Chain A
Amino acid sequence: MIRMNRLLCIAILILSAALAAGKASAQSADLKPLIAALAVGNFADREKAVAALAATGDPAAVPALNALAEGDLYAHKSDKAVVIAKKAPGRSFSLTDPLTGADLGTVNSREVSKVKVNNGLRRSIRTALAGLTLMSPDRNIRLTAADGIFKAGQADSIEALDAAIAAEQDAEVKTLMQEARAVAVLSSELPAEAKTEALDILALRGDRDALSVILGFRPSAGEELSAQTDAAIARIEGSLANWEAAQNIWYGISLGSVLLLAAIGLAITFGVMGVINMAHGEMVMLGAYTTFVVQEFIRNSAPALFDYSLAIALPLAFLVSASVGLCIERGIIRHLYGRPLETLLATWGLSLVLQQAVRTIFGPTNREVGNPEWMSGAFEIGHMTITYNRMWIILFSLLVFGVLLLVLRKTSFGLQMRAVTQNRAMAASMGIRTPWIDGLTFALGSGVAGLAGVALSQIDNVSPNLGQGYIIDSFMVVVFGGVGNLWGTFVGAMTLGVVNKFLEPYAGAVLGKILVLVFIILFIQKRPRGLFALKGRSVEA
């Protein structure tokens, strides 16, 4: 009974939405005599009235039918006007209009009499209701109705579903109806063949809802069906495991793309200058704050441009971080060439200064950076949820990676950069201005960090500590991937991302991360120069 109530409630909810659209007032005039007919005559007359109501196909009739099935439909003794009555305190009823839902006040219980129903009538009401919702011209109403039956799964909705399936044109709705019918079949007294078929349909659906339906059916399966039931459960669990693995890979790629964005600039500077720039995280942070400033500006002066804010922020963030990077190189790092460990320390000092500077200017709390329209929301592929912001970040990181690869391979700047990476002294004697290359490389690496900051501002808190959170992970990626090869960084980032996400369900997020760190420490023992080690004379420096 409770289940049926839920089903009816769902129907009411759907239809009240339709009522709100304003169709009701136009059609309610036609319905009025039909509803009034519910209160007169015997059960046979009432059945005819219900059938007539169902024949209109008008959702406005649903509340009245519901009330009738529940025994809440009453008629005034004086003028036979039909009302929905709910018990109020004292011996009175509060009345509502069955068509408009308008409040009609309270009356003494003696003034109204109940419209009587029997089981036969209830059955025809349910068929009528299912017909009104499952056959509704609105596709969404049909979907929700089918979904409601799927969740409630009552044997007596089979007939209505059969009729609806026969009439249904939309493939998706039809599938859902068939699945709902399968659930209903499982709870019915139908023979085993029908149930086997139902199990197949549900196994094909293959999600957690289907699994819980079948698991609920398992105890009552009986001998002849237990094998099929177990097979269906195994099939669903297998497909769920596959989807879960796919989802984990997706999360891993997503994490990997974030790592790639954060680390790739570092890899460039590290590869060319042999120094890990500890202030790299702060370049990322500067990019994120640039996004914040751009969005603030747009919010205040041109709100219409908000959806383009990221596109505007990208070049600006690149410029801001690149110019800061150039200043750092010219001002500090230039003096420290050949002393990689000390550069590491100086840039660490710099990162503290930059953090404190941002904290002083923007305050220590998180600043809000909004997601543009096209970056919010999610969609589903199979049983996998994909959020737009993650998807765009993956695409963006691949784009940045591809462009950098092109710059390194196809431009003369890239050629010179690679020459300096491989053998600084020889490059210098071939006429390459190595200080100039150093400066530009550092600016490029920092600029890419700025781009990463724009992307990360979409998924992380924009605070002065933003960079700190990524710097150690970025080190790990670069060290793991090896120097002087962007592919190393790519493979390193993706491997670490995917491994991390696969460890998480088994070991928990923190332990998973610890395991990854231990793995990197051990890996470095095996390959002290990373996955893609640079070979040649410059290696043993």
Chain B
Amino acid sequence: MISTWLFGRMQRPVMAAAILLVALAVLVPVLHLSLPQSHALHVPTYIVALTGKYLTYALLALALDLVWGFCGILSLGHGAFFALGGYAMGMYLMRQIGTRGVYGDPILPDFMVFLNYKELPWFWYGFDHFWLAAIMIVAVPGLLAFVFGWFAFRSRVTGVYLSIITQALTYALMLAFFRNNMGFGGNNGLTDFKDILGFDIQADATRSALFAASALALAGGLVISSAIVGSKFGKVLVAVRDSESRVRFLGYRVEHVKLFVFVVSACMAGIAGALYVPQVGIINPGEFAPANSIEVVIWTAVGGRGTLVGPIIGALLVNGTKSFFTAALPELWLFVLGGLFIFVTVFMPKGIVGSLNDLRERGWFGRKRENRDKELPEESIQTAAAE
């Protein structure tokens, strides 16, 4: 029954994307580990690490799309949930270092010894257990989203105001985490990780496993999101996006709908952050920077908000371009990013996937097909424009 709920209403492109991700989760580690380096199909280490990182970004973009694309809540603070998940993972990884740190303290991480901590702060207790860290990775962002959303949606803070206070949230968290006496490593953050679950974090096998975990997490995120969006609840969700007052007058508790999807989205972002940290080997307060959160919005907008595959494509595409430009033409990257943002919002408000859907509806790809992706119909844009 659960499987019916999960996969029953899944659209074909989403299904294809999920299957592709699962296939990648198997294939890339195999190609990376079993083939010799000289082999043409060998996947080098840096590609595994880089694409693994992109996949966590894609999960973050998907999480944002769930609230923005389907519920109309433009969160400019989703990076905060991502970073909180990352910090929870980072705390676990710090505790795993044990006596191998520079100061060799069995309990205290290096930065605490350096900052003259005498004992572990209470919120670090238990982070040497993976299960607790795993719970925290989901629970902390989820709880923050619940409290924040409960207040904000109940007070009917909407539109630009909501965007600005989410931004204030992540900005405040960034300032807080920059403080040395918060107990999270100050501006250096948490780094110098040694191993995860007993495996060397630098080893090829571990990297491959992390890549696979990221791909599977993304596939899982896709399945859950499509289940939410495809359900009756999903219809209410889209209705809230398109006309909040009307849904409220019809008797739905709009704030509950928003709160649920906001919390789910925050948990997804937390998981993405937790998978991101071991792959890049550091988490610092810079991840909370408002600019990072806005960049996530770019990925989603470029790929196509209101579609499930769109944000994934957007995240991979924008980050791939970013990696290329920052290596080859670093001067130009901000021009490209900024230009992309302007271009997409002005000329492709539905993003790549949305525009492709439009073209398909007009019969550009062979016979005219029934419109399957109704996520962001023309009408909703017009409604938005009327506002």
Residues of A within 8 A of B (CB): 270, 274-276, 332, 335-346, 348-357, 360, 468, 472, 475-476, 479, 510-511, 513-514, 517-518, 520-522, 524-526, 528-530, 540-541
Pair B331/A356 contact, Cβ less than 8 Å:
yes
B339 close to A (CB within 8 Å) = yes
Residues in A whose Cβ lies below 8 Å from that of B349: 339, 342
Pair A352/B334 contact, Cβ less than 8 Å:
yes
Q: Which of B322-362 contact A (CB under 8 A)?
A: 331, 333-335, 337-342, 345-346, 349
B152 close to A (CB within 8 Å) = yes
Question: Which of A339, A353, A525, A540 lies in contact with B339, CB distance below 8 A?
Answer: A353
CB-nearest residue of chain B to A341: B74
Tell whether A524 pairs with B165 under 8 Å between CB atoms, given A275-B160, A339-B384. Answer: yes
Residues in A whose Cβ lies below 8 Å from that of B115: none
Pair B164/A345 contact, Cβ less than 8 Å:
no
**From DSSP, what is the main secondary structure of chain A's interface residues?**
helix
Q: Which of B144-193 contact A (CB under 8 A)?
A: 148, 151-152, 154-161, 163-165, 167-169, 171-172, 175-176, 178-179
Tell whether A514 pairs with B341 under 8 Å between CB atoms, given A345-B301, A520-B165. Answer: no
Question: Which of B158, B334, B340, B342 lies in contact with A356, CB distance below 8 A?
Answer: B334
Q: Which of B293-336 contact A (CB under 8 A)?
A: 294, 297-298, 301, 331, 333-335
Pair B178/A348 contact, Cβ less than 8 Å:
no
Question: Which of B160, B176, B331, B333 lies in contact with A344, CB distance below 8 A?
Answer: B160
Residues in B whose Cβ lies below 8 Å from that of A270: 160
Residues in B whose Cβ lies below 8 Å from that of A357: 335
CB-nearest residue of chain B to A515: B172
Pair A341/B337 contact, Cβ less than 8 Å:
no
Pair B168/A476 contact, Cβ less than 8 Å:
yes
Looking at B74, B154, B161, B386, which has the most chain A CB atoms within 10 Å of its CB? B161
5 interchain residue pairs of minimum CB distance? A349-B341, A352-B338, A338-B385, A353-B338, A356-B334
Pair A514/B176 contact, Cβ less than 8 Å:
yes
Tell whether A514 pairs with B175 under 8 Å between CB atoms, given A276-B164, A335-B346, A336-B346. Answer: yes
Determine the distance from Cα of A305 to Cα of B74 in the docked complex, in whole angstroms: 50
Determine the distance from Cα of A346 to Cα of B335 in the docked complex, in whole angstroms: 13
Residues of B within 8 A of A (CB): 74, 148, 151-152, 154-161, 163-165, 167-169, 171-172, 175-176, 178-179, 245, 290-291, 294, 297-298, 301, 331, 333-335, 337-342, 345-346, 349, 381, 384-387
Determine the distance from Cα of A132 to Cα of B373 in the docked complex, in whole angstroms: 97
Determine the distance from Cα of A520 to Cα of B167 in the docked complex, in whole angstroms: 11
Instruction: Enumerate 29 A-B pairs (CB-CB under 8 Å) in ascending A order.
Output: A276-B160, A276-B163, A336-B345, A341-B74, A341-B160, A342-B349, A344-B74, A345-B294, A345-B341, A349-B298, A349-B342, A353-B334, A353-B335, A355-B334, A356-B331, A356-B333, A356-B335, A360-B331, A472-B290, A475-B168, A479-B161, A513-B175, A514-B176, A517-B168, A517-B175, A522-B151, A524-B155, A524-B165, A528-B156
CB distance from B322 to the nearest CB of A (A): 12
Tell whether A344 pairs with B290 under 8 Å between CB atoms, given A338-B386, A510-B179, A521-B169. Answer: no
CB-nearest residue of chain B to A473: B171
Pair B297/A345 contact, Cβ less than 8 Å:
yes
Determine the distance from Cα of A348 to Cα of B344 in the docked complex, in whole angstroms: 12
Pair A351/B338 contact, Cβ less than 8 Å:
yes
Residues in B whose Cβ lies below 8 Å from that of A514: 172, 175-176
Further contacts, 17 of them, CB under 8 A, given A345-B345, A348-B341:
A275-B160, A338-B387, A341-B74, A341-B163, A346-B346, A350-B342, A352-B337, A352-B341, A356-B331, A356-B333, A472-B290, A476-B168, A510-B178, A517-B169, A525-B151, A525-B155, A526-B155
CB distance from A424 to the nearest CB of B (A): 11
Question: Which of B151, B301, B337, B342 lies in contact with A332, CB distance below 8 A?
Answer: B342
Residues in A whose Cβ lies below 8 Å from that of B339: 349, 353
Pair A356/B165 contact, Cβ less than 8 Å:
no
Pair B342/A340 contact, Cβ less than 8 Å:
no
Tell whether A349 pairs with B345 under 8 Å between CB atoms, given A479-B164, A520-B165. Answer: yes
Pair B155/A350 contact, Cβ less than 8 Å:
no
Residues in B whose Cβ lies below 8 Å from that of A479: 161, 164-165
Pair B168/A346 contact, Cβ less than 8 Å:
no
Determine the distance from Cα of A153 to Cα of B169 in the docked complex, in whole angstroms: 55
Determine the distance from Cα of A339 to Cα of B68 in the docked complex, in whole angstroms: 13
Determine the distance from Cα of A492 to Cα of B159 in the docked complex, in whole angstroms: 20
Determine the distance from Cα of A510 to Cα of B334 in the docked complex, in whole angstroms: 29
CB-nearest residue of chain B to A274: B160
Residues in A whose Cβ lies below 8 Å from that of B384: 338-339
CB-nearest residue of chain B to A353: B338
Looking at B290, B340, B346, which has the most chain A CB atoms within 10 Å of its CB? B346
Determine the distance from Cα of A304 to Cα of B386 in the docked complex, in whole angstroms: 57
Residues in A whose Cβ lies below 8 Å from that of B387: 338, 541
Residues in A whose Cβ lies below 8 Å from that of B154: 525
Residues in B whose Cβ lies below 8 Å from that of A332: 342, 346
Looking at A276, A337, A344, A349, which has the most chain B CB atoms within 10 Å of its CB? A349
CB distance from A332 to the nearest CB of B (A): 6
CB distance from B280 to the nearest CB of A (A): 23
Question: Which of A349, A513, A528 lies in contact with B340, CB distance below 8 A?
Answer: A349
Question: Which of B161, B175, B290, B337 lies in contact with A529, CB distance below 8 A?
Answer: B161
Tell whether A528 pairs with B178 under 8 Å between CB atoms, given A346-B341, A349-B337, A521-B165. Answer: no
Determine the distance from Cα of A396 to Cα of B157 in the docked complex, in whole angstroms: 34
CB distance from B33 to the nearest CB of A (A): 39
CB-nearest residue of chain A to B169: A521
Tell whether A344 pairs with B385 under 8 Å between CB atoms, given A356-B331, A472-B171. Answer: no
CB distance from B276 to the nearest CB of A (A): 23
CB-nearest residue of chain B to A357: B335
Determine the distance from Cα of A361 to Cα of B294 in the docked complex, in whole angstroms: 26
Determine the distance from Cα of A352 to Cα of B341 in the docked complex, in whole angstroms: 10
Determine the distance from Cα of A518 to Cα of B168 in the docked complex, in whole angstroms: 8
CB-nearest residue of chain B to A342: B345
CB distance from A476 to the nearest CB of B (A): 6
Pair A517/B341 contact, Cβ less than 8 Å:
no
Determine the distance from Cα of A521 to Cα of B155 in the docked complex, in whole angstroms: 11
Residues in A whose Cβ lies below 8 Å from that of B165: 479, 520-521, 524
Determine the distance from Cα of A403 to Cα of B339 in the docked complex, in whole angstroms: 36
CB-nearest residue of chain B to A479: B164
Residues in B whose Cβ lies below 8 Å from that of A346: 341-342, 345-346
CB-nearest residue of chain B to A520: B168
Pair A337/B342 contact, Cβ less than 8 Å:
no
CB distance from B76 to the nearest CB of A (A): 8
Residues in A whose Cβ lies below 8 Å from that of B155: 524-526, 528
Residues in B whose Cβ lies below 8 Å from that of A521: 148, 165, 168-169, 172
CB-nearest residue of chain B to A471: B290
CB-nearest residue of chain A to B173: A514
Determine the distance from Cα of A345 to Cα of B68 in the docked complex, in whole angstroms: 13
CB distance from B227 to the nearest CB of A (A): 26
Residues in A whose Cβ lies below 8 Å from that of B298: 345, 349
Residues in A whose Cβ lies below 8 Å from that of B386: 338
